[in-house]
Chains A and B, each alone.
Chain A
Amino acid sequence: MEASDDAEAEYAAFKQKVKKTVYIDNLSPLATDAVVKTALGQFGNVLNVQFIPNYIGPSNMPAAALVEMENERQAMKIIEETADFPFMISGMPRPVRALPAEMEMFDERPRRPGRTIQCQWLEEKDPDFEVAQEIKYLVKKHATEASHLLKQQLAEEEKLHNKHGETLKANHKKYELIDRVLADGSARKLGNCYNIKLQDN
């Protein structure tokens, strides 16, 4: 019985840990442990940063990390503030997303105590066999749907990214133009021509 008590205690303790951990999404793959730690260190005491590895997902997917804070309140604060104000980590302008962490996101989670796992082989003659095959097919279908949606989402992100790039370049050109005109005196000359006073800030 002691083993099960230990397991329960471990599970409960882990649940506490989950409560004070934040799941951060939309991270650039260039962000390292240290960067995330400093970034979120502004909200409180960061105990631990671990990235969620992406083994089978698409390459373009943004990175995600689990950041453990000192207490639940700090974690909630991060989640609330990133929802209110766009917070950027190591790059602009895409803001990160913070959500409360869930048990299944952790790799080192303990087993759920008191659970027994059962499995059985179904024979072909079994009437449920057909249904089970259908379910298998359905699961596959769902998985494909999900991956397709993910691809679409990434495509949209790429589009937005490119659009922003264009906007930024255009704005930049405008600023450059204004700067140039102010710097080399042509603005002043024009001003004299039209009798408009230019102010030098």
Chain B
Amino acid sequence: MSIPREDASEQGNVDFKWGHFLAKGGANKDVHFYESFTFDGVEYCLNDSVYMWRDDVEELDIGKLVKVWETASRKRKVKTVWFLRPNDIKHWLGDVKPLKNELFLASGEGVGVFNINPLESICGKCNVICTSYDRRNPQVSEEELKIADFTFFRTFDVGNCKISDEFTDLIAGHRVENFFNKKTDQKNKRLHVEAHLNQEARKVGSPARVVRDNDYNRTSCVKQLDKVASLAKKDLFRDKNITQRPKAILGNGSAKTPSGQLLAKRKVRYLEDLTRANESDTSPYKKRAPQKNPGSKEDLANFDGLLPNLPDHIQNLLNSRHPYTDKRGPSIGELNNKKSSSNLDRRADQSEHQKGLGILRQTIKVSRRPDVSWQERLERAHETNCLILLENLDPSYTSQDVEDIIWHAFQENVSAKMIQRNKFCSPRNGRALIIFKSKVVADSVLSELNNRCLMLDDQRPVLACRRNIRHPDNPSKFFGHLYMYRQRYQKQRDANAVSTSHYCQQNTIEYELALQWWILQSKSTLVWDALHEQQAKEMEVHASKLKTRNMI
């Protein structure tokens, strides 16, 4: 975008017109609120979902216009409540698997629920349908679902970062009914569907006014056509020319199965992933079906250029009325059920299988304590002075590697144990405890290593020294666990809290103390990292002094 939109409007080049005037501002009479406007040839109304463009982000944001106004200085602003893409909130998704083209409505208190932006950052209209079963949400028809760009039925609370199925009464100060689907009657719905399709056709054909906007739409249309082609190949009834409306994005399957006329669309649903089981309920659509026919035919007529024609027998299906419903309805319902249930069965089987394996695995594996024998051996070795600590080994050596090295260097059989790394050791320094057969051997090896120099791979001279072993019998003090003097009525609660492991709640004193421990922890992590960096640098300096030799 080379020309910022504000400038363009001053030059009078941008296509903009206010629509229906709503009210004047209460506090400031110069502020005018509007209900609709036309921008770039597209008419927008309040509570429409739109694409908005952000400077540094490639993907367009999707939001719902909840307020539109013009300020005293002739600047046009809109307030949008955002629909969050799964990508935006993937950190908090957890186990939730979002559906294709599912959005989450931002709700709650906090940053990110809505923004006020200049009107000129709107890029186009977006068809977002709410598929929630909330009683305040009018349910949508099959057709509308298919032509929808996106669907949503969950909210994301920005305050506590949780996804929920429930809708509170107010979102960003606006009634939640504004966010649900618009309550329109049958006729209007049909007109709405047609209008939308007209709009789509127009968008694809119109000249590139806003480069970004059209590119987006064109590529999405191209994608749809590709999808149609691939779906056609997979179709069940061996009929090559099954068509689909361009915006064939299906959200979650709604619970209503269509009647026979919508057989073609049903097929597409089989091929997409169904996440909700469909109940066979053909009755709601019986009455509506006849009214739909003219609508669907007209819509298809608009797409002469874009889609192949329907073959005859599918046309017949679309034209026919009740007799088809009666005959085909239940069977489609059954077929539907079978397909989805088989999917579910397969999935259930898999999980059972896994569960079975998991249980099996659980019984076989036994948790391992560090070898008590090693502890004893180490102690004994220490008492008899047979214990040596080697340092500056490569940390990725195993105990066996170390034993081999000793054997080759000294021709001695030893037992070695690489010390398992914890977060405080230097990452470069691998250490191992060696148990020799006798004190004499240990002494001689020690003196050899100290007087001469054994070099390992990667320019590592080996260090050796004696070290004290920590006795496990010594009661180790652990800092951080406090025991409160138990009051009579608090005893029960405390006992439960301490014996089980838990998250602590935010309003307790434990939380505050825990936070202080966290602060200490992060401080120490920083310090350790700094130390390791510095040590690595010092080591670099010395290592570079060594002439690189090829070890043969």
Contact = CB atoms under 8 A, between A and B. Distances in A.
B142 to A, nearest CB: 35
Interface in A107-145: 107, 109-112, 117-124, 127-129, 131-136, 138-140, 142-143, 145
A191 interface: no
Contact of A91 (B399, B453, B498, B551): B498
Given A87-B503, A117-B397, A161 B455 contact: no
A19 B455 CA distance: 33
B358 interface: yes
Contact of A104 (B396, B470, B479): B396
B539 A135 contact: yes
Nearest to B389: A56
Interface stretch (B284-292, B344-352, B400-408, B436-444): B400-408
Contacts, number: 281
Interface residues of B, number: 99
B378 interface: yes
A72 B22 CA distance: 55
Contact of A119 (B409, B418, B477, B509): B409
Contacts of B543: 135
B367 A48 contact: yes
Given A104-B396, A132-B461, A90 B501 contact: yes
Interface in A29-74: 29-30, 33, 35, 37-39, 42, 45, 47-64, 70
Which of A37, A57, A132 gathers the greatest number of chain B CB atoms within 10 Å? A132
A42 B502 CA distance: 9
A86 B431 CA distance: 33
Nearest to A52: B420
A99 interface: yes
Contacts of B455: 119-122, 128, 132
A26 B480 contact: yes
A26 B521 contact: yes
Interface string B377-410: 0100000000001011001111111001100110
A61 B478 CA distance: 7
Interface in A144-200: 145-146, 149-150, 153-154, 156-158, 160-161, 164-165, 167-168, 171-172, 176, 179
Contacts of B378: 55
B542 A134 contact: yes
Contacts of B510: 88, 92-93
A122 B520 contact: no
Interface residues of A, number: 98
B461 A94 contact: no
Nearest to A50: B368
A29 B422 contact: no
Dominant SS among interface residues on chain B: mixed
B68 interface: no
A70 B358 contact: yes
Contacts of A176: 487
B219 interface: no
B398 A138 contact: no
Contacts of A30: 478
Contact of B457 (A47, A99, A117, A138): A117
Given A29-B476, A52-B420, A132-B453, A139 B517 contact: no
B498 A51 contact: no
Interface in B444-474: 452-457, 459-461, 463, 467-470, 474
B485 interface: yes
Given A109-B398, A143-B391, A92 B498 contact: yes
Contacts of A111: 398, 400-401
Report, nearest first, the 7 A-B pairs whose CB atoms are least far apart. Answer: A94-B480, A91-B481, A39-B501, A86-B514, A53-B370, A93-B513, A161-B479
Interface of A: 23, 25-26, 28-30, 33, 35, 37-39, 42, 45, 47-64, 70, 77, 80, 85-95, 97, 99, 102-107, 109-112, 117-124, 127-129, 131-136, 138-140, 142-143, 145-146, 149-150, 153-154, 156-158, 160-161, 164-165, 167-168, 171-172, 176, 179
